[in-house]
Amino acid sequence: MLRMLQSRGANEIRRRAFATSASAVEEPVTRKGSCTVPVAFTKFDAKEDAAPSPPVVLLHGLLGNQMSYRSLVKKPDFAPKRDIYTLDMRNHGLSPHTGEMDLHALSRDVSLFLDNEGIEAASIVGNNIGGKVGMILALEQSDRVSDLVVVDGSPLASDKKLEFVSKIVQVIHDVEIENYTQKKDIEEDLKKGGIEDERLRQFLMMNVVSDSDEPGFYKWRHGIQAIQEAMPALMTFPVYDSETYTGKSLFAFGNQWSEEEDAAIKKLFPNAQLKRLESAGPYIPAIGNTEELTEILNQHLGSKP
């Protein structure tokens, strides 16, 4: 049965077994001298009764949103005994747009979310940019991260994997979306820009929404200008001299993996496990094969530290 709840002035819909509660979003605030964004999120209650465990917080990749994990979260066998939260990072999904866009800003937003929801520590799962944010949280606020999963990402200072995503950002930025009245024309422009994978185009088209200021026309849900300007910063990773995260961590990767990445992980995450995925990449939770991903995540989340 559905019931309405009031939480911090926002309406939430929650069902005991497996339903969602979506947050309302306020304006960005200043916290510790920097802009912090109260992100939009959805909560999925645990599917099964169990002893209290840290919730799972899913952080999407660049150009994704909380819906990127929809097929994963809906699986009956995915983390059935955990509450699950899916977040929209700033300049993505339903979260506010802001000019400040770097990894530490994204990390502060997740920390604020944990504070607002009264979550002391969580299992953090992140894909590409979401994985970078998870790593920063683990290294700088280890008490907030009960365990960590990074999919297709590493703490290398130069992230070549994101070069592909950077090209997509440029294509989206160059599409003159404000001139179109038909979605099919926008998708065709993406194809002409070099995005030939139909699944990827459909994934990106999920972020095309009606422009309320210009009825009949469209806009990107993303804050694409801020994202494009932030790409150089987002493709790097902070340098840590002595910090390490000794908690349980898992790094899942595809065929494009290097010894350099392996060494960088082991330096900062000495207890990390490495798992190879047959289907990995910047958008695997959204358009990849989630069967294998579900299996390794369940193995990780179900095992003891």
Kindly give the pairing relationship between strand 145-151 and strand 3-7: unpaired
Strand, helix or coil at 271?
A: coil
pTM to 2 decimals?
Answer: 0.86
Residue 243 structure tokens? 């910090």
User: Could you give the angle at which helices 129-140 and 103-116 cross, rounded to 10 degrees?
Assistant: 70
Residue range 158-216, pLDDT digits in tens:
767 778 888 899 999 999 999 999 999 999 999 999 998 888 898 899 889 999 889 99
Residue recorded with tokens 């009825």: 215
| Amino acid 32: pLDDT | 44
Do the beta carbons of residue 257 and residue 160 sit within 8 Å?
no
Q: Is the pLDDT of residue 22 over 70?
A: no
Residue range 225-250, pLDDT digits in tens:
999 999 999 989 999 989 999 999 99
Whole-angstrom Cα distance, residue 172 to residue 186?
Answer: 10
| 40-62 average pLDDT score | 92
